[in-house]
Amino acid sequence: MVVGAETYKAGLWSKQALDRMMRDGVSPTPRNYAVYYVYASGNTPALNTAYEKAYGQGRITQHICEELFYKFIVGDEDREAVKQADKAIEAEVKKVMALIETSARETGQFGENLDMFSGKLKTAKSIEALHEAVKKITSETQAVFKQNETLQKELADTSAQLVAVRDDFDRAHHEAQIDPLTEIGNRKFFDREVVRTIGEAREQNLPMVLLMVDIDHFKKFNDLHGHLVGDQVLRLVARTLVENLKGRDVIARYGGEEFVIILPNTRLEDAKRVADHLRSGLANKKVTKRGTNETLGTVTISVGAAQCEPGDDSETLIARADQAMYEAKQTGRNRVVCAPVKESYFHKHVGWCLRSAGVGRGAGLRRIGRCGLASSGNSAP
């Protein structure tokens, strides 16, 4: 059901993209199509805003399309990779076209030779003349066969080269979205994923929660033990978070000592349990100095959780999670604080929510309360 719906939407967005490209009079290149397809999907509101502003000021030019492509689709980090891929692909395409043109010329010559030999066969007056005509046909046929073998080999080599170009670009694109220190998603990766996940949650009417995670007293720890140990702590936190999350959950380094976790198809009370599990699991780990195995202490985190609500966009959702995390820091650290949920009429007057089995991280008939309380372990020193 979902796959069919996604296919329908993809087809609709594709048609809208092509129609708009024709209306704007832009060339139907892959990059331009990507810009218009993303615009039609509405998954990147910033691109839509920039496009509409440019359209309102006049005609959409190729230069504007290029700017939108690099700013909102591949980003500045990928610009060089795209250029290199374009050059490599252009070179391979030229090589293939040259081979095809050569083959076409030689095949055309072969056809002319066949016509000529056919005439000689018809007019041959002796066995010797007939033998000579057949010999020449055989020679020409073998030459064309060899040329076709060469063409097939060259085309296979070119195909392999294009696959390599694609892999190189995919690798560069992937690396541009990974934090090199912790080897998890970076801020750019998160910015895209949170918009995508909010859109999916809204379209499929599913819950979604954002966790904002901050390492307690990280600056003091970093200053006391040095930046190398600080980097070790960041890697430890990232690894611990990754090891304790599910496959569809998204984790990224937001900046400095802050991390963000997107929990799709998850309600706030379930997300709170997940966050507490992450918090307690990390608090049980010891930080040791490499080389001496000296125990430097434990690391704790403060977590803010915010459930995506109607009307939320990425900015408002992040702001509420960040505010909840700030409250966790202010009220003792090493704890989870949930942003207050706006109670619907159903929650306020009935107070019960019937969950269908398999939806979210829990199932059954459960009480839905306002999650404004904090859970904590021992406060961090």
The DSSP line for 191-259 is HHHHHHHHHHHHHHT--EEEEEEEETTHHHHHHHH-HHHHHHHHHHHHHHHHHTS-TT-EEEEEETTEE
- Distance from C-alpha of 201 to C-alpha of 198, rounded to nearest angstrom: 5
Consecutive 10-residue averages of pLDDT for the chain (381 residues):
56 84 85 86 85 90 87 64 59 59 56 54 52 61 66 64 59 73 90 90 93 93 86 92 89 94 95 95 83 81 95 93 96 94 49 41 36 44 35
Residues in the chain: 381
Residue 358 tokens, joined: 């398999």
Domain boundaries, the chain: 2-60, 78-175, 187-376
Please give the DSSP secondary-structure letter assigned to residue 371: -
The single residue listed with the structure tokens 């202010």 is 330
Q: What pLDDT is recorded for position 132?
A: 62
Per DSSP, the three-state class of 288 is strand
pLDDT at 371: 39
What is the predicted pLDDT for the residue at 378?
A: 44
Name the residue type at position 203: E
What homologous superfamily is domain 187-376 in, according to CATH? Answer: Reverse transcriptase/Diguanylate cyclase domain (3.30.70.270)
The answer to whether the pTM exceeds 0.85 is no
Query: Please, what's the b/e burial string for 160-173 (b: 16 or more CB within 10 A of its CB; e: otherwise)?
Result: eebeebeeebeebb
pLDDT for the residue numbered 2: 37
| 100-115 exposure pattern, b = at least 16 Cβ within 10 A, e = fewer | eeebeebeeebeebee
8 A C-beta contact, residue 26 and residue 32: yes
Instruction: List, in sequence order, every beta strand (DSSP E) within the chain.
Output: 208-215, 250-255, 258-264, 286-289, 294-298, 301-307, 335-338, 352-355, 364-367, 374-376
Return d(Cα 314, Cα 265) in angstroms, integer.
16
